[in-house]
């Protein structure tokens, strides 16, 4: 082995990326395991050492052949995919199952390994790699061969979450394959155009036409990304409840307006018994794709609890504990409010976590539902108390996310609570449908076309005059 070529091998960015990435995962988890970090019990030092050895032991000789010119780029891609990428995909999937609390670390390492040959690797390698990784996750999660409890097909929520997760991975790698292939094919075309322009400037018009074609292809790539986001938007919209007209005791209208294609608000309205309803509204930190991913986690956690007989404060404490356990290393939070309406007893019981004051209107009386505790994910010691209020026929409840208060106009003034409360007092006789429309129209008028800075959810609920309240 020639020392000059070996030195050249280590100077290759792809060699540095692969070895550094593998070392980072192995060393990071080894340090965390040494300090008894929760979530790493199933990973052994020998597995981490094996990963480091296999990573460096395959990357160096493969890239050495590229550095000394014995392999062309096409041969290097094929061999590196089968002898480096596939083993790393298998280990990454294995480790993802073993350390679910560090899912984002493993996904970052996975994406990072593909970024090194980005623009050189052919599309089929990205697609084939994504399929292999997804198949590994399916086998590890559903068969239990990784030593973890297998997911049962009867666990509908977990199965749905798994397939949405895998679909996201497939879409991401499909997009990477298109972009990488585009960069690979267009790089040679651009170089050819530059050489032609030096030889003959009379071909300038032809080169301009080619560049326009490249821009059209680039637009096509962005259109694919936009299409993926629209798919994600439809998926998120399908998570929200509908068909409120079946609740004869209540007049309900709910409207959700994300700031981007997808957003970080989530709500649910469920009838838990005859004359008993449960309302839940959550507002995750951030918006866009980050907020949407958090709402998926919120929905999964809430689905197991929404039919529970526990009081609202107890449910929030469970949600808080589970959310911290899963995402404590990511500094993620959300506010929420949980309201139980018992029309048979004529009472409202609620608890909230860092959520802004909501509104309860009773005839001429205007009441608020103040915050009862800290945001979910902030502290495992958080305690959430309940508050009970008497309710009557034709009482109205308005729930909303803080995006309603924080809508700015062109003068950087916020919509604010005072403006909302004055509007509600003026329009208290309106139906839920009409009231929500009036609120949204007033917000649009206030902003004068200014783009929303946050996701916005508004839920209006009015108890029917003929409800079962005694």
**Residue 325 and residue 336: Cα distance in Å, rounded?**
18
- Cα→Cα distances 322→124, 134, 213, 280, 341, Å: 39, 26, 51, 17, 25
pLDDT tens for the chain, 470 residues: list them.
666 767 777 777 777 777 777 788 888 888 888 888 877 778 888 888 888 888 888 888 888 887 777 887 778 778 888 888 888 888 888 888 888 777 777 777 777 777 766 666 777 777 888 888 888 888 887 887 777 777 777 777 777 877 887 788 778 777 777 777 666 666 666 667 666 666 666 666 766 777 777 777 777 776 776 666 566 566 666 678 877 878 888 999 999 888 776 677 899 999 998 889 999 999 988 767 777 788 888 888 998 899 999 999 999 999 999 999 988 878 889 999 999 999 999 999 999 999 999 999 997 788 999 999 999 999 989 999 999 999 999 999 999 998 888 888 888 888 888 898 989 888 888 999 999 999 999 988 888 867 677 788 999 999 988 776 76
E strands in 330-372: 334-342, 347-353, 358-362, 365-369
Q: What is the number of alpha carbons within 13 Å of residue 200 lying toward its C-beta?
A: 7
Predicted pLDDT of residue 407: 82
Predicted pLDDT of residue 152: 74
Predicted pLDDT of residue 468: 66
> pTM of this prediction?
0.53
Tokens of 232: 């994600």
The answer to whether the beta carbons of residues 151 and 141 sit under 8 Å apart is yes
**Residue 188 and residue 184: Cα distance in Å, rounded?**
7
Q: Where are the domains of the chain?
A: 3-34+42-153, 240-463
| CB contact set of 286 (below 8 Å; sequence gap of 6+) | 264, 294
Number of other residues whose CB lies within 10 A of the CB of residue 316: 27
**Residue 243 and residue 241: Cα distance in Å, rounded?**
7
**Cα radius of gyration (the chain):** 28
Please, what is the Cα angle at 240 between 234 and 243, to 5 degrees?
A: 110
Predicted pLDDT of residue 116: 66
Within its chain, how far is the Cα of 49 from the centroid?
32
* Domain 240-463 CATH class label: alpha beta
What kind and span of H or E run contains 166?
helix 156-199
**Residue 107 and residue 113: Cα distance in Å, rounded?**
10
**Exposed/middle/buried for 437, CB within 10 Å: 0-12, 13-18, 19+?**
middle
| Residue closest to 461 by CA, chosen among 214, 271, 269 | 269
């Amino acid at each position: 082995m020639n020392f000059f070529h070996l030195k050249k091998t280590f100077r290759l960015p792809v060699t540095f990326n692969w070895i550094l990435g593998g070392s980072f995962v192995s060393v990071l988890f080894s340090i965390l395991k040494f300090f008894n970090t929760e979530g790493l019990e199933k990973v052994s030092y020998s597995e981490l050492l094996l990963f480091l050895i296999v990573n460096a032991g395959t990357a160096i000789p493969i890239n050495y052949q590229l550095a000394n010119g014995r392999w062309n780029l096409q041969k290097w891609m094929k061999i590196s995919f089968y002898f480096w990428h596939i083993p790393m995909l298998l280990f990454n999937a294995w480790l993802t199952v073993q350390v679910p609390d560090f899912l984002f670390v493993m996904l970052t390492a996975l994406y990072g390994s593909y970024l090194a040959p980005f623009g050189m690797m052919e599309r089929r390698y990205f697609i084939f790699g994504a399929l292999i990784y997804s198949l590994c996750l399916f086998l590890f999660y559903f068969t239990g061969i990784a030593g973890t409890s297998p997911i049962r097909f009867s666990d509908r929520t977990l199965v749905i979450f798994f397939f949405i997760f895998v679909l996201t991975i497939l879409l991401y790698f499909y997009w990477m394959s298109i972009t990488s292939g585009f960069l690979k094919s267009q790089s040679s075309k651009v170089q050819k155009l530059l050489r032609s322009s030096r030889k003959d400037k009379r071909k300038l018009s032809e080169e301009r036409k080619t560049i326009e074609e490249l821009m059209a292809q680039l637009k096509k790539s962005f259109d694919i990304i936009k299409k993926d986001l629209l798919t994600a938007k439809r998926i998120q919209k399908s998570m929200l409840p509908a068909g409120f007209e079946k609740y004869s005791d209540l007049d309900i209208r709910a409207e959700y307006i994300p700031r981007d294609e997808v957003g970080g608000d989530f709500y649910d309205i469920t009838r838990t018994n005859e004359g008993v309803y449960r309302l839940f509204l959550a507002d995750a930190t951030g918006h866009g794709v980050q907020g949407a991913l958090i709402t998926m986690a919120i929905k999964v956690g809430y689905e197991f609890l929404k039919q529970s007989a526990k009081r609202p404060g107890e449910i929030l404490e469970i949600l808080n504990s589970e959310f911290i356990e899963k995402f404590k290393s990511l500094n993620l939070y959300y506010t929420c409010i949980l309201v139980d309406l018992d029309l048979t007893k004529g009472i409202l019981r609620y608890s909230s976590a860092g959520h802004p004051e909501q509104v309860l209107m009773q005839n001429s009386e205007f009441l608020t539902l103040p915050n009862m505790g800290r945001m979910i994910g902030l502290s495992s010691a958080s305690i959430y108390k309940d508050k009970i209020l008497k309710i009557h026929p034709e009482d109205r409840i308005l729930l909303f996310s803080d995006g309603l208060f924080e809508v700015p106009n062109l003068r950087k003034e916020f919509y604010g609570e005072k403006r909302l409360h004055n509007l509600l007092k003026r329009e208290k006789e309106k139906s839920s449908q009409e009231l929500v429309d009036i609120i949204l129209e007033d917000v649009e008028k206030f902003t004068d076309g200014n783009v929303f800075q946050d996701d916005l959810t508004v839920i209006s609920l009015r108890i029917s005059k003929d409800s079962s309240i005694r």
